[in-house]
A = this chain, B = another copy of it.
Amino acid sequence: MKAWSGLILSAVLAATSASAQTPPPPGSAEALPNMAARLRDRALSGSGAYDILESLTTEVGPRVAGTPAYGRAKDWAIAKMTALGFKNVHAEPFAMPVAWTQGVETAEVTAPFPQPMVITGLGRSVATPPEGIEAEVVLFPTMEALQAAPPDSLKGKIAVLTEKMGGVESATGYGAANRWRRRGPVEAGKKGAAGFLIRSLATNDNRAPHSGALNYDDDAPKIPSAALSGADADQLERMAKRGKPIRVHFTLRPTLTPNATTWNVVGEIPGASSPDEVVLVSGHLDSWGLGTGAIDDGAGVAITLAAAHLAGERHPRRTIRMVMWGAEELDYAGDAYAKTHAGDLSKIVVAGESDNGAQHNVAFGMPAGAADLPAVKTLADVLAPLSVKFNADPVRAGGDDVGKLAPLGVPQLSLRQENSHYFDIHHSAEDTLDKVDPVEMDKAAAAWAATIYVIAESGVDFRKAAPPPAKK
């Protein structure tokens, strides 16, 4: 296996190397794979992605949608894309049903062992009264246990879900845990709870709690809800073992603003010969307010922007469109884009999003029916030296935002990243630039640049390749 892999790799590298020295004539049969390979290596040698990320996280910092900081991020995005030579740079405003920003956040055990705890509000949580709420806590080891609690059994209490999120690949990984956080406040509220605390959704147990959105139901009480740091959740469990009722006081004073304005920010490298065919790549510009949004998702913005810029310098036939989403964390940006662009979504050849950190890619996925297309085979060859493998499972949603375009017929592209430490950091105060390795960002930018270029320069049509929809 090893020798065989080595041969393939050598062959690809030899082709790459030759092409780097003798550029083939434009339009020749060899042009596409060779140009893509050269572009990949150009990005590897310094893509500019880290500098973009440093600029965003330093000059703007945290940028919650609906705040003045997001307005500064939008201005930064317009200036950055303009400086990189993008055309048609503009911000597309839309109203969010509600914007949410943190205010004062405090928590402490008041009995039997008085001491401070560390919490952070969940996105969309209502505020407590200014003096906070204080009540006995009821600990639940699992979401199932919370759901199984009898009606009214939590009346006036604070429900605490201590279930520990598992690793990326586990059954209790972020996919499951994300539902606990989104749904827990409703389940606790329906049973009469006055408040809800959840063990921070994270793969470590430090004192930096991770925020994230909740989803209220219109027919359930809306109760103040926060994430408790892993270390504090452990502490509550140790206290509970000592057998006495535990009382907790907490205060959350967020600002909720209905119909707040935010923006998706867009820029293009117009296609050299087919400008009405669009390859859309993206990251989300908004972040939570605790860190500086370095890995979530300044990195995705920076990687795709650097990649689009480098691919654009080769003047491919199709238009490359960079989108920076303006409200991913509260799930509003993709729908807004779909509404604004209802009339021209058919121009989008494929849409992709980078929103899983700042590390290298490990696999790429394509729309249904794409596996045997020549452009996809070319791309697989070009990405092989980066150890990015083709995943034959058709991509249903390339990301939280572009995924909103999938039901409207927009083909989806995915570049999966190494992310085993992503959930140590995301949504917390620890999401800062020092966690990012520039070399890793160059690898990711190289994969994205090659992908963008191959699709933008080829005539590949994923809609034609897709199998007919199954009959109902």
B113:A207 contact, CB within 8 angstroms: no
A115:B434 contact, CB within 8 angstroms: no
How would residues 355 to 388 of chain A score, 1 for a CB under 8 Å from any chain B CB and 0 otherwise?
0000000000000000000000000000000000
B contact residues around A242 at 8 Å (CB): 58-59
Within 8 A of B (CB), among A42-93: 54, 58-62, 68-69, 72
Find A207's partner among B231, B239, B291 (CB 8 Å cutoff): B291
Which of A220-228, A332-340, A425-433, A438-446 is near enough to bind chain B? Answer: A425-433
A234: Cβ under 8 A from any B Cβ: yes
A282: Cβ under 8 A from any B Cβ: no
Smallest Cβ-Cβ distance to A205: which chain B residue: B434
A2: Cβ under 8 A from any B Cβ: no
A234:B116 contact, CB within 8 angstroms: no
A432:B231 contact, CB within 8 angstroms: yes
| Size of the chain A interface, CB-CB below 8 angstroms | 35
A118:B231 contact, CB within 8 angstroms: no
B contact residues around A207 at 8 Å (CB): 208, 291, 429-430, 432
B contact residues around A118 at 8 Å (CB): 429
CA distance A60 to B116 in the complex (A): 11
Find A115's partner among B69, B114, B115, B230 (CB 8 Å cutoff): B69
A433:B234 contact, CB within 8 angstroms: yes
Q: Given A205-B434, A208-B207, A430-B206 in contact, is the A113-B231 Cβ separation under 8 Å?
A: no
CA distance A207 to B430 in the complex (A): 6
A235: Cβ under 8 A from any B Cβ: yes
CA distance A65 to B116 in the complex (A): 16
A464: Cβ under 8 A from any B Cβ: no
CA distance A59 to B60 in the complex (A): 42
Q: Given A115-B69, A207-B208 in contact, is the A235-B432 Cβ separation under 8 Å?
A: yes
A292: Cβ under 8 A from any B Cβ: yes
A113:B60 contact, CB within 8 angstroms: yes
A238: Cβ under 8 A from any B Cβ: yes
A113:B61 contact, CB within 8 angstroms: yes
Smallest Cβ-Cβ distance to A429: which chain B residue: B207
Instruction: Tell me the A residues contacting B by CB distance below 8 Å.
Output: 54, 58-62, 68-69, 72, 109, 112-116, 118, 205-208, 230-231, 234-235, 238-239, 242, 289, 291-292, 429-430, 432-434
8 contacts between A and B (CB under 8 A): A54-B238, A58-B238, A60-B113, A61-B109, A61-B113, A61-B114, A207-B208, A207-B432
Closest 4 A/B residue pairs (Cβ): A61-B115, A207-B429, A231-B432, A58-B238
